[in-house]
Amino acid sequence: MKLSRTIALSFIFMALAYGTLAASAQSFPTRSIHLLLGLPPGGAADVTARLIARGLEEKLGQTVVVENKPGSGGNLAGQLVANSPPDGHTLLVGPDSLFVINPHLFASDAFDPFKSLIPIASLINNYYAFVTSSALPVKTLPEFVALAKRSNPALLYASFGNGTQSHLGVEMLKTIAQFELNHVPYRGGPQAGIGVVSGDASLTLGGGGVYPMIQSGQLRPLAVASRAPIDELPGVPSVSEFYPSYELSSWQGLFAPVGTPRAVVDRLRAATNEVIADKAFDSKLRATLSGKSYQSTPEAFAAQIKSESDKYGALIRALNIKVQ
């Protein structure tokens, strides 16, 4: 069965599975809620998770605890949530890569996010920018590409993990601009940024995790990955100004285990949407270059996941990338 059909069937299954456990939205939550995150502290996803946690505490009247569980490109955190009791008290703040990249990337099919997790709500769209060390003698993305083309051996680039947008986004640029860079994966965005600052790598594609290093002057932003400019990086052009076919974006969403009662999912969705609709939430995201709030309907969110899975699946097959 083709993956796109599997995804469609899985979301139908999820919709039918909402009511499999008896529960009352009026009594939920009855104890602390745990938000698991498959990335280390310090990056945009971590900022998002902690802002969502504080907002849900206010809306739901219970403590919300963020737990960082990095590993296997987010699969570890996803599997922990999938295996938890489906009662709404253990949730995942999940990156799009868990759904649209990992199923194509990882050789093992022990964990299938489409069969194991229910989408509750979209949260944010992430910001990404190509950055290099301020000590490197380049000020624009074309200047960096020219430097990379004449470098022998090839320069290194840092990502925040195999199969992440930080990895695939650079690979997309390499394909379009026709130059070589060698990949060095790190365990998160801040770590990748530090690798560039220290000179262990020459470039990374980062967001909130590298923003403090941009603010301090240690990193220089060359171009943003989105077609639209980023207000927090004034004067920094879009990659598409130099390479028109290039565009990259990503998102974070909130997910629960399959089998979570529909009444609980609906209450969580309503509370989450109230949190992300607050202008203060969006302002805090933008202030840390973590992205901007992103509210979608369940149907549109599911359709977006399927569309992006098709796009990244084609890219991963073309690049012949596989993680054991």
So what's the pLDDT on residue 50? Answer: 96
Beta-strand relationship, 250-257 and 90-95:
antiparallel
Would you report the helix, strand and coil content of the chain in percent, each value rounded to 5?
A: 45, 20, 35
User: CATH 3.40.190.150: which residues of the chain?
Assistant: 3-127+250-319
User: CATH 3.40.190.10: which residues of the chain?
Assistant: 130-241
Q: Record the tokens describing residue 81, joined without a space.
A: 């949530």
Q: What is the chain's pLDDT, residue by residue, as a tens digit (324 residues)?
A: 455 565 555 555 454 444 444 445 568 999 999 999 998 888 888 999 999 999 999 999 999 999 999 888 888 999 999 999 999 999 999 989 899 999 988 876 668 898 999 999 999 998 899 999 999 999 999 999 999 999 999 999 999 888 888 999 999 999 999 999 999 999 888 999 999 999 999 999 998 889 999 999 999 999 999 998 898 899 999 999 999 999 888 899 999 999 999 999 999 999 999 999 999 999 999 888 888 999 988 888 888 888 888 888 888 888 887 776
Integer angstrom CA distances of residue 106 from 37, 96, 131, 324:
19, 15, 28, 6
- What's domain 130-241's superfamily in CATH? Periplasmic binding protein-like II (3.40.190.10)
Which residues, other chains included, contact 17 with Cβ-Cβ below 8 Å and sequence gap of 6+? Answer: 118, 258, 259
Please check whether residue 288 is in contact with residue 208, taking contact to mean a CB–CB distance below 8 angstroms.
yes
At the second CATH level, the architecture of 3-127+250-319 is: 3-Layer(aba) Sandwich (3.40)
Please check whether residue 90 is in contact with residue 169, taking contact to mean a CB–CB distance below 8 angstroms.
no
Residues 156, 157, 158, 159, Cα dihedral to 10°: -140
Say what the pTM is: 0.80
Beta bridge partners of 221: 131
So what's the pLDDT on residue 16? Answer: 47
Integer Cα distance of 188 and 18 in angstroms: 33
